[in-house]
Amino acid sequence: MLSTESNTPRPQGTVAIETHGCKLNQADSEVIARQFTQAGYRVVNLNDGPDIYVLNSCTVTHVADAKARQALRAARKRNPSLTVVATGCYAQRAPDQVRNVEGVDLVLGNRQKPRLVEAALQARGVATVPCAEGVDSLTGPESLGRTRAMIKIQEGCNQVCAYCIVPKVRGKERSIPPEKLLQQVCQRVAEGYREVVLTGTQLGSYGFDLSQGDLRSLIELVLEHGNVERLRVSSLQPQEITPDLLNLWKDPRLCPHFHMPLQSGSNAVLKRMRRRYTADQYRETVERIYGAIPHAAVTADVLVGFPGETEEEYQETFRLCESVDFASMHVFPYSVRPGTSAAYMDSQVEPAVKRARMDRMLTLAEEKASVFRRRSLGEIRPVLWEKEFEDGVYSGLTDNYLKVRVNTSRPLANEITWARLTEEREGVIYSEVV
């Protein structure tokens, strides 16, 4: 953590942190927010006129890159005196490109995140040294504006899928020791967080580089000693969800939500992608989940238009998605990422064909999500209420990751209550507190 010397006035200022992309980036942003807080800065929204703006960027598609550039320009236009800092995966992959965006003051990739706060304060003429006081200031839900704590348990990926830039921007897989993770969990719980989310690039590989332990033993450790009210696992591959692992979900504190990337339902495409499962294995894993946990939610990523994808291969994916009871699907088009092997493959899918396939898959995704929401009506589920959406209306998430709202005069922020799901309006479920 960063602070000034104990005999020097602590710097006072404000910082806004915008996060694009995955939950791993969200976990990194929480760490950055904590470091700014320890350095005497208050975390605010961009609309509040901060002194420093940090964009934690994504680069999985060219759209993500464009979104990052737009956000950086907009921040500078909003406040010419702002110190604008770009970090994250886009900054790691193409630092010169990001540096050329008008108004950017600092570009720090993922590997430079540990020194981001120090660099940002130095850019504003504030010298900092490691904290000499040994006392943390408040960094709980109220100060960071989040009721769910994202904890990174590992980073990096050794699988090197053909389309994916992540191994280049996050590096090789490396696990954080379980005792350190347990300490973080206990700290977040003490600060008032009601839910902990275990996140990383390749969660199922957790522990392979440690002397002992794996994901299952880590989850058991957190449940036994972490005093958590809700624990969520952010993403797993189908081949990693074994009956032995699923058995842990008998504990009601484990949220019954499984995000399991599909990418394609065609075995030929999966092989070209270098994915490590087949379409049948994926379907069997979904059936295993619902067989063990009937009220679970399974969500997926689907990639459309991978190089060489024929109409029949696309239809194989479409039919598999039709047959699976997904709670939601994140559908995205293949985007050429320089430095990945797919960028050099022949038979890139024509943009018009890709758009047409995207439109059909997006329509199916909305149908699936709507069916799941309607099927959930009448259920009573635990909800973590995250914020007051508008006067007297709170929004939150069920344990199985449904977005819900409730009209109430009772303050509910950062509370977990049981709620009956009563109706769906414009993609959001309304409820009543039980």
The CATH number of the domain holding residue 92 is 3.40.50.12160
The answer to whether residues 194 and 264 belong to one domain is yes
The answer to whether residues 124 and 9 belong to one domain is yes
Kindly report the backbone phi and psi dihedral angles of residue 181, in degrees, each rounded to the nearest multiple of 5, phi listed first. -65, -40
Q: Say how far apart CA 197 and CA 150 lie, in whole Å.
A: 5
The answer to whether residues 158 and 100 belong to one domain is no
Report the number of distinct structural domains present in the chain. Answer: 3
Tokens for 50?
């901060």
Q: From 84, 103, 130, give the residue that closes a domain.
A: 130
Domain span at 60: 2-130
Q: From 97, 130, 163, give the residue that closes a domain.
A: 130
pTM (whole model) above 0.95: no
**69: in domain:** yes
> 389: domain CATH number?
2.40.50
**Angle between helices 311-323 and 279-292 in degrees, nearest 10:** 10
Around 129, how many Cα atoms within 13 Å sit in the side-chain half-sphere? 9
The answer to whether residues 159 and 67 belong to one domain is no
The answer to whether residues 384 and 363 belong to one domain is no
The answer to whether residues 117 and 232 belong to one domain is no
**40: in domain:** yes
**384: in domain:** yes
The answer to whether residues 289 and 228 belong to one domain is yes
> 296: domain CATH number?
3.80.30.20
**145: in domain:** yes
Neighbouring-strand partners of residue 416: 384
The predicted pLDDT at position 214 comes to 96
The answer to whether residues 371 and 393 belong to one domain is no
The predicted pLDDT at position 52 comes to 96
Around 64, how many Cα atoms within 13 Å sit in the side-chain half-sphere? 24
**135: in domain:** no
The predicted pLDDT at position 126 comes to 77
The answer to whether residues 368 and 414 belong to one domain is no
Kindly report the backbone phi and psi dihedral angles of residue 116, in degrees, each rounded to the nearest multiple of 5, phi listed first. -65, -50
The predicted pLDDT at position 346 comes to 86
Around 112, how many Cα atoms within 13 Å sit in the side-chain half-sphere? 20
DSSP structural state of residue 408: -
**244: in domain:** yes
The predicted pLDDT at position 300 comes to 98
pLDDT in tens, the chain (434 residues): 333 334 444 557 999 999 999 989 999 999 999 999 999 999 999 989 999 999 999 999 999 999 999 999 999 999 889 999 999 999 999 999 999 999 999 999 999 999 999 999 999 887 654 443 333 444 555 555 568 999 999 999 998 899 999 888 999 999 999 999 999 999 999 999 999 999 999 999 999 999 989 999 999 999 999 999 999 999 999 999 999 999 999 999 999 999 999 999 999 999 999 999 999 999 999 999 999 999 999 999 999 999 999 999 999 999 999 999 999 999 999 999 988 999 999 899 999 999 999 999 999 999 999 999 999 999 999 999 998 888 889 999 999 999 999 999 899 999 999 999 999 998 899 999 99
**367: in domain:** yes
CB 278 within 8 A of CB 313: no
**136: in domain:** no
The answer to whether residues 153 and 269 belong to one domain is yes
The answer to whether residues 229 and 347 belong to one domain is yes
The answer to whether residues 117 and 89 belong to one domain is yes
Burial state string for 10-30 with b = 16 or more CB within 10 A and e = fewer than 16: bbebbbbbbbbbbbbbbbbbb
Q: From 73, 98, 130, give the residue that closes a domain.
A: 130
